Amino acid sequence: MARDLRKSGIPVVGDVPWGTHFCTFYETTQDLLDILVPFFKAGLESKEFCLWIVSHSELLTTQEATSALRKVVPDLDRHLSEGSIELVAHNEWFLEGGGFDFHRVSSRFGKKLNEALAKGYAGMRVNGSPAWLLRA
């Protein structure tokens, strides 16, 4: 049985199976955008729900991430209004309720995936950097 491969959007990585995790190393904010913008663009093109949890520790705001996406995804506003992609600050996702709670965060990911599948998305594509932990 062939595994269902997804376009990563990252040329050096190529196509990957569901459940693939990446650990990315970068030196600049632009390096990070060069990885994540094509990653999320490929997800939107593949009818996947996309969740970008933006860590301000990476010197990037949700507004800057949105602006970078808008340059390569001409119909980004439609995707945002349809809920195909969400960009959320790390403190709103990981620290909701005043502190980090592994079980609450894990449950949120599961709930998002179930909602995405129920809406007909092929799956869910996520980026959530732990870089903010170093500055907490």
Encode pLDDT of 44-96 as tens digits: 999 999 999 998 766 789 999 999 999 999 999 999 999 999 999 988 998 88
Name the 3-class secondary structure at 78. Answer: helix
* Residue 7 CB burial class (10 angstroms; 0-12, 13-18, ≥19): middle
pTM summary value: 0.91
Q: Rg of the chain over CA atoms, in angstroms?
A: 15
Does the pLDDT value for residue 24 go beyond 80? yes
What backbone phi and psi angles, to 5 degrees, belong to 84? -70, -25
Encode pLDDT of 97-127 as tens digits: 888 888 999 999 999 999 999 999 999 999 9
